[in-house]
Structure 1
Amino acid sequence: MFTRKLFYLLVFLLLQGCSSIMPNIGVTNGKLADCPSSPNCVSSQAQTNDKHFIEPIVVKGSSLDAHEKVLAVLESSKRTKVVVNEAEYIHAEFTSMVFRFVDDVEFLFSQERDGVVNIDIRSASRVGHSDFGVNRKRMEAIRSKLKE
């Protein structure tokens, strides 16, 4: 009996991951979309005292260099698909290994000033309430790879 319930729960979770809808993403008036109220999103454009806030990524070099570095990190990441690749904006999808949940990751590049590019970032889960800090950890890992 317990095994059957566990099986149904796993099937439900798997189907839930497959039935996710496209969230509110992209750039509007130079801004990334706001995070929802749930704790499964981080954004460098959130208010600094907000639980969703994360520092933007700062890269030395030109906007083109920063863009190429971010693309290289994304292309070296497992279960990652770059959906939009524009000069000032990148949208990628990260898919979890077990349940195939999709998280949307966005990068908004500012103009290079004094040899430095500011990259606003946003990472959000499509389904569920909590992500157990996965989005924040992912963005910090990307930040670390870009510093190498």
Structure 2
Amino acid sequence: MADFITFKSLKRPPKPNTCLVAPDNHCLAADPDFAPPVMVMTARGLFSRMSEVIASERRWGNIEADAESYRIKFVATTGLMRFKDDVDIEIIPVDEGKATFAIYSRSRVGYSDLGANRKRVNEIIRRVNTY
């Protein structure tokens, strides 16, 4: 099984090369950049949709997923410089027929990512909403 991060105890580095999206009180040791939307679908349905979106992107690879815990992780390769960024996702059941998620995208190298991780997270959210 993959070594997934634990969002509850996640601590962000002081460098501005990460993006964290999570519902209120999901990350106890880190402040998210913004809260994700609540989707009108089951956690299983959102996990499937998120998995399809990730699998459809040619520069995202090394995908590991666990359908039991609703977790996904993958490596995103940037376009020009071919940097490797790590992305972890956790699907979170909210109410019956509703779910949300947490995403943590971060650069492996460098101080600033020039907003690349935030753009990636926003693109994932946009594609999940329109898939």
TM over 0.5: yes
Q: What is the CA distance between 1:78 and its match in structure 2? A: 2.3
Q: Aligned residue for 1:73?
A: 53
Contact 2:42–2:96 (CA under 8 A) maintained in structure 1:
no
* CA shift for structure 1 position 111: 2.1
Q: Find the counterpart in structure 1 of residue 43 from structure 2.
A: 63
Give the Å deviation of 1:96. Answer: 1.5
Indicate the percent of aligned positions where both proteins have the same amino acid.
Answer: 29
> Where in structure 1 are there 5+ consecutive unaligned residues?
1-24
Please tell me whether Structure 1 or Structure 2 has the larger radius of gyration of its CA atoms: 1
Amino acid aligned to 1:38: K
Question: Which segments of 5 or more consecutive residues in structure 2 lack a partner in the other structure?
Answer: 22-26
Aligned equivalents of 1:47, 1:142: Cα separation in 2: 20
1:60-82 alpha-carbon deviations (Å, 9 max, x no partner): 21111101110111111121114
Match of 1:39, as an amino acid?
P
Answer 1 or 2: which has greater helix percent.
1
Indicate whether 1:100 and 2:82 are aligned: yes
Structure 1 residues 17-38: Cα deviation after superposition (integer angstroms, max 9, x where no partner): xxxxxxxx7333x626322110
| C-alpha RMSD over aligned residues | 1.9
RCO higher in 1 or 2 (8 Å CA, sep ≥ 6)?
Answer: 2
Aligned to 2:24: none
Q: TM-score if structure 1 supplies the norm length?
A: 0.72
Runs of 4+ displaced beyond 4 Å: none
